[in-house]
Amino acid sequence: MLSLFKTAAAVAVLAGMAIGATIPTFTQDQVDSGEAIRQLGKIAYDTAMARAEKATTGCTKDKVKIRKEWRNMTMTDRKNYQEAIQCLMTKPSRYGLPGPKTLWDDYGVLHYYQTPYVHDDATFLLWHRHFNWVLEQDIQTHCGYNGTFPYWEWGLDCGKLDESPVFDGSEYSIGGNGEFVKGHRAAIGGAKPGTGGGCLKKGTPFANFTVNIGPSEAMNPLAYNPRCLKRDLNDDVCRKWASLRNATELILYTSTVGIFQSASQGEGVRGDGGKTFGTGVHSGGHYSISGDPGSDFHFSALEPGFYLHHGNLDRLYFIWQNLDWEKRQTISGTNTMYNMPPTANAVLTDNMGFEPLHRNITIAAAMDTVGGTPLCFVYEPW
């Protein structure tokens, strides 16, 4: 494949083509080091906060919550967030089904039910944005967590996932890798095998967590099926599909939401200048964690890392939107995965399903993170 990043000039030209003359141009080193995406994140942050400054009701500047990369959170917030997630694992389920036992299980059930309607379609980005927001409300309401809601910038840890403050197994992490299982298969796309594959190592957060439902290939996926949480951290996947370059290219080379959402999911689209995106950062982030249920398409929401991963994907979308805000409040596609079965194109007034975890909202209500109906947050650059 011909690289579109052979020279610094190419980066500069393509960035200008994709977004506009007001956006800085970047060298290849700035893209690969993360300096480019840091600058883009600052522009997006300032743009969103400027809208909040103008608001007189709803999401005013003094009410905006600042989401932070995990390593930029205080140790207190990291620990309290981790404990709030474990708190949800002790509260009774709202579904009334025999398999799911806890509020945490409810997230797996809802994601299982909604998977055919919220992936590879018009609502992928906005449904998952709101899904994370609903979790934030639950850990606040049921478990008293009022700290920062996190995201995980995958590219900062590619090549050293075991040492990441997210997955190093310390008391301020969300748990470590799984025990090494010899001979387990690679995750996706011909990647090398991960470094775990088994149950989380003893002594690490979530090592005693029980996955109650799934997997998706089971005869009855929602039946009670208790087992350990497994992880298989995979640096090769991370380097190939979730690097700082991958994330930055997704923003710079996608001038429409249809291309952005397809490129993020690895649907084989071409972006501006003929850019291709391989497996996509969505799968790249998921399979950097991998394991059970982390690599289960339907039940991956039962992996605690899911929300930090999707927080980062939403951050990229937040940046992309705010680089050209007036033109990037649109959707593209239908409400079914790959339009199977065929359905009408989605419109902004369509409802997205979140019951019984939360009330349903329209697609439009999740479009603006500082819209105040109900969202009111921004992403701080790391």
Residue 349, domain CATH: 1.10.1280.10
Residue 2: inside a domain, yes or no?
no
In a domain, 284, yes or no: yes
Cα 367 from Cα 106, distance rounded (Å):
24
Number of domains in the chain: 1
DSSP 373: S
Number of helices (H) and strands (E) in the chain: give both, helices first: 11, 9
AA identity, residue 154? W
What sign has the CA pseudo-torsion 249, 255, 260, 263?
Answer: negative
Task: Give the structural domain span for 155.
Answer: 8-379
Low-confidence residues in the chain, pLDDT < 50: 1-21
Cβ atoms of 8 and 27 closer than 8 Å:
yes
> Residue 287: its pLDDT value, please?
96
3-state secondary structure of 83: helix
State the Cα–Cα distance between residues 209 and 243, nearest whole angstrom.
Answer: 29
Backbone φ, ψ for residue 374 (5° rounding): -110, 0
Q: Helix, strand, or coil here: 265?
A: coil
Q: Is 148 left (phi over 0), alpha (psi -120 to 50) or beta?
A: beta
Q: How many CA atoms lie within 13 A of 182 on its CB side?
A: 0
Residue at 1 is within a domain: no
Predicted confidence at residue 157, as pLDDT, reads: 98
139 within some domain: yes
Q: 111 and 248 in contact (C-beta within 8 Å)?
A: no
Tokens (6 digits) for 307 = 């929300």
Q: Are 256 and 207 contacting, i.e. CB atoms less than 8 angstroms apart? A: no
189 lies in a domain?
yes
With beta carbons less than 8 A apart as the criterion, state whether 336 and 117 touch: yes
The string of pLDDT tens digits covering residues 325-361 is 999 999 999 999 999 999 999 999 999 999 999 999 9
- In the prediction, which pLDDT does 186 show? 64
- What was the pLDDT predicted at 21? 36
76 neighbors 147 (Cβ within 8 angstroms):
yes
CB contact set of 116 (below 8 Å; sequence gap of 6+): 336, 337
Q: How far apart are CA 55 and CA 170, in angstroms?
A: 41
241 part of a folded domain: yes
Written as six digits, the tokens of 101 are 């036992």
